[in-house]
Amino acid sequence: MKLILLGAPGAGKGTLAKKLIDKYNIPQLSTGDMLRAAVKEGTELGKKAKSFMDSGALVPDQLVIDIIAERLKQKDCKNGFILDGFPRTIAQADALAKIGANDKSAKIDHVISLNVEDEVVVHRLAGRRTCRGCGAIFHVENLKPKVPGKCDSCNGELYQRDDDKEETIRNRLKTFNAQTKPLIEYYSKKNLLVNLDAEQDPDKIFEDAVGKLK
Ligand code: AMP
C-alpha cells in the first residue's frame, strides 16, 4: 500500500498515519518530522529550512524532493509507505510521479484527502501540544495529558511548536490553500483521490479510510 496523506496543517495527517502504519505495517515518511529533526541537529539542511518553517512558508521544493527520493530508496519502503506532508506543491507531485515511473515500488496507489474547515484547524493547532521526547500529540482541551505538561507515554515535556502559534497557523493555512490545495484536483484527475471528512473523531476517520482503501 503506497499512500499520500493530503490535508491542511492540523487536518490529522499524523494521527491517521500512526493508525495506518500499525494496520498495514508500512513506514510513515513525514517531511515535517525529518525537517524538524534536521533543525534540532543543526545540519546544513536544517539551517536552510528553519526560517521558512518558522514563518509558515514551504521550504524550497528541491530540498524536500531530494530528502524523499533518498528515503524511498530504503529497504523498508519496498512494500509500501505513507507520505505525510509530501507532496505539497505541483512541482513536488510531478517529481514524485517521475520517481514512480522509474521505480514501480514508489508508484502511488491512493491519495487520501483529509477535508477540514480552516477555523477547525486553527482551534486544533493553537491548542496542540507535542512531546519533546517521543513526538506524541495532546490538546489543551480535547486530549489533555494525565499530568499537565507531561507526556502520558514517556513523561517527556510537552511544548507548543513555534509554528503552532495562531499567526503562523494562519500563514500555514494560506500556504496550504494557495500551493497544496491544487493537488486535490491534480490527483482527482489521475483517479487516485479518496475524500475523507476529517472533522470526525479520529477512530471514525481511520475506519472510513480503511473501508475506502479496500
Ligand atoms: P508539517 O509538520 O508537515 O506541518 O511541516 C512543518 C513545516 O515543514 C511546514 O510548514 C513547511 O515549512 C515544512 N515542510 C514540510 N513538508 C514540506 C514539503 N513537502 N514541502 C515544503 N515544505 C515542507
Cβ burial, residue 31 (10 Å; 0-12/13-18/19+): buried
**Is the Cβ–Cβ distance between 38 and 144 less than 8 Å?**
no
Task: Say what the pLDDT of residue 16 is.
Answer: 94
Tens-digit pLDDT profile for residues 185-209: 999 999 999 999 999 999 999 999 9
Pick the catalytic residue from 2, 124, 128, 129: 128
Nearest CA to ligand 1 atom 5: 32
Reported as type and span, the H/E element at residue 211 is helix 202-213
Number of the ligand 1 atom closest to the C-alpha atom of 85: 3
Residue 214's pLDDT is what?
Answer: 74
Nearest Cα neighbor of 3 from 99, 89, 109, 122 is 109
**How many contiguous H segments (helices) and E segments (strands) does the chain have?**
9, 8
Nearest atom in ligand 1 to 53's CA: 12
CB contact at 8 A, 157 and 132: yes
Mutational test site, ligand 1, from 31, 39, 175, max ligand atoms within 8 Å of CB? 31
Ramachandran assignment for 50, one of left (phi > 0), alpha (psi -120 to 50 degrees), beta (any other): alpha
pLDDT of the chain, 214 residues: tens digit per residue: 999 999 999 999 988 999 999 999 999 999 999 999 999 999 999 999 999 998 889 999 999 999 999 999 999 999 899 999 999 999 999 999 999 999 998 999 999 999 999 999 999 999 999 999 998 989 999 899 999 999 999 999 999 988 899 999 999 999 999 999 999 999 999 999 999 999 999 999 999 999 999 7
Q: What is the pLDDT of residue 162?
A: 84
Residue 185: CB partners within 8 Å, gap ≥ 6?
none
Q: Which amino acid is at 39?
A: V
Distance 7 CA to ligand 1 centre (A): 12
Whether 71 is catalytic is no
> Residue 170 catalytic?
no
Instruction: Give the residue, by CA position, lying nearest to ligand 1 atom 8.
Output: 32
List all residues whose CB is within 6 A of at least one atom of ligand 1.
9, 31-32, 35, 52-53, 56-59, 64, 85-88, 92, 163, 172
Nearest to 194 by CA among 214, 209, 177: 209
> Ligand 1 atom 19: the closest Cα is on which residue?
86
Report the separation in Å between the CA atom of 103 and the middle of ligand 1, taken as the mean of its atom positions.
Answer: 25
Residue 63 has phi, psi (to 5 degrees) of: -60, -50
Sequence-ordered alpha helix ranges (H) in 61-201: 61-72, 90-102, 118-126, 166-175, 182-189
Measure the CA–CA gap between 205 and 214, rounded to whole angstroms: 15
Cell of 167: 499567526
pLDDT at residue 163, as a whole number: 86
Domain 2-26+79-213 of CATH type 3.40.50.11930: no
Query: pLDDT value at position 93?
Result: 98
